[in-house]
Structure 1
Amino acid sequence: MRSVKETATGKPVHPAPPPAPGAEQYRALDFANTALALPGGQFLDLLGSPEAAKRWLAERDLAPSDAELHEVCAARLRALRDQLRELLTSRIDARPAPDNALRAVNDALVGAPAVALLRWDPEQGLHRVQAHPTDQIVDHALAVLAADAADLLTGPDAERLAACDSPPCQRYLLRTHARRHWCSVRCGDRARAARAYARRTQGKHPDADSNAAR
């Protein structure tokens, strides 16, 4: 699978699709969907470089826009994302949660305060600030995302979790109704086109595999 190239600013040449249903409600779902399999054997990783990871965090108020991230930081984000995807898949498939994925999310939960703490100084008096210094920005982001993931996986919306049913897409979503398994209009159109093509092919070749349209 080929990776989508980025411009000099770290932005991908091909833009990412719109957020999947539920991703605007749960940043953890949006986080899990930063690994994108695209048609044509291409792959887009929205956390694939420090610059891309910083932009993604800043756009979701998880890091200041002038933060400095290194590759080790981006790699930590990608590692938690991969473990979260394991948890989402196991929840959708009604399988036991993998121990390593549980450990990764729990470690992130306690890695940094996920809320602004109370502080006092002569100029501002009592006020709330994030407790993390610059070198702990990623710890804070991981803690927030892990807490959001825990809420999603243990709350009532967990029953609505689904994986997009339009190969090669590998995004997750919250179903808006019982039959919705597509994360975007684009994926839905592609799935319908694939089924229509399979039906035409079967009509021409009676012995074609009846599972081709699935």
Structure 2
Amino acid sequence: MSGVEETATIEPDLPYAPGEDQYLSLALANSAITLPGGHVVDLLGTPAATNDWLAERDLAPAGTDMREMCATQLRSLREQIRALFASRVDGLPPLPAALSALNDALTRVPTAPLLQWDDSTGPYRAAPHPTTQVVDHALAILAADAADLLAGSDAERLTACGSDPCNRYLLRRGRRHWCSTRCGDRARAARAYARRTRGDAG
């Protein structure tokens, strides 16, 4: 093993983390999944995969002509939301850049056709490119969802999966700190192994 993370776009056989059904932003934060063995599965790894992810959540029409620039914007918002979730979970002040990025996404959707300027014909009013509109709309919805989660009562239940190397977030139910049964089993097995190792060393 080289130690270098391998990135794939194939969806892992993992159930949704608790809370993803309530908060789209939680699903977005969990769309890049670290698996055992250094594998990373990015559900937004390509423009087509990004369109599929958005379409499954009614954030974009299926078959939108998604461009890499648009997919990159969504992946960037994902990282900023993850940074804000980490700040909330760890009880630390947010990174100013993450807060700014979220607020920028909240205000991305224009309420009127914008003033455009053509070098030969001069000024005119027009809406942005349709694909850009779709992506801006999705970014605004996801940012608003993250803001609602972070500012609402459910923020107290927001936590990171307690099974290394999993990087998913979830809404805690009771004392459960795992995003899935698989992660819970892995964490329990790791604890049992650590106890046996300590016992053997003694």
Give the TM-score of the pair, scaled to structure 1.
0.81
- SS of the aligned residue for 2:188 comes to helix
**Would you identify which runs of 4 or more consecutive aligned residues in structure 1 move more than 2 Å?**
1-6, 131-135
Match of 1:97 in 2: 94
Considering only aligned residues, what root-mean-square deviation do their CA atoms show, in Å? 1.7
Which amino acid is 1:175 matched to? R
Q: 1:5 to 1:93 in 2, by over 3 A?
A: closer
- Out of 178, 184, 187, the position equivalent to 2:183 is 187
- SS of the aligned residue for 1:96 comes to coil
Match of 1:34 in 2: 31
Matches within 5 A, 1:132-143: 133-143=130-140
Match of 1:64 in 2: 61
Match of 2:194 in 1: 198
In the TM superposition, residue 113 of structure 1 has moved relative to its aligned partner by 6.1
Which amino acid is 2:6 matched to? S
Q: 1:143 to 1:132 in 2, by over 3 A?
A: farther
* Between structures 1 and 2, the one with greater helix share: 2
Confirm whether residue 2 of structure 1 aligns to residue 8 of structure 2: no
Matches within 5 A, 1:75-94: 75-94=72-91
- SS of the aligned residue for 2:19 comes to coil
Q: Distance in 2 between matches of 1:113 and 1:16?
A: 38
* 8 A contact 1:113–1:140 mirrored in 2: no
In the TM superposition, residue 134 of structure 1 has moved relative to its aligned partner by 3.2
Unaligned runs of 5+ in 1: 7-11, 115-130, 207-214
Q: 1:168 to 1:65 in 2, by over 3 A?
A: same
- Out of 9, 12, 15, the position equivalent to 1:15 is 12
Q: Distance in 2 between matches of 1:43 and 1:155?
A: 30
Q: Distance in 1 between matches of 2:132 and 2:89?
A: 35
Deviation per CA, 1:22-50, whole angstroms, max 9, x where unpaired?
01100000100111000011111111111
Number of residues paired by the alignment? Answer: 183
In the TM superposition, residue 136 of structure 1 has moved relative to its aligned partner by 1.5
Q: 1:15 to 1:173 in 2, by over 3 A?
A: same
Which amino acid is 1:133 matched to? P
* 8 A contact 2:70–2:132 mirrored in 1: no
Percent of aligned pairs with the same amino acid: 60
Unaligned runs of 5+ in 2: 112-127
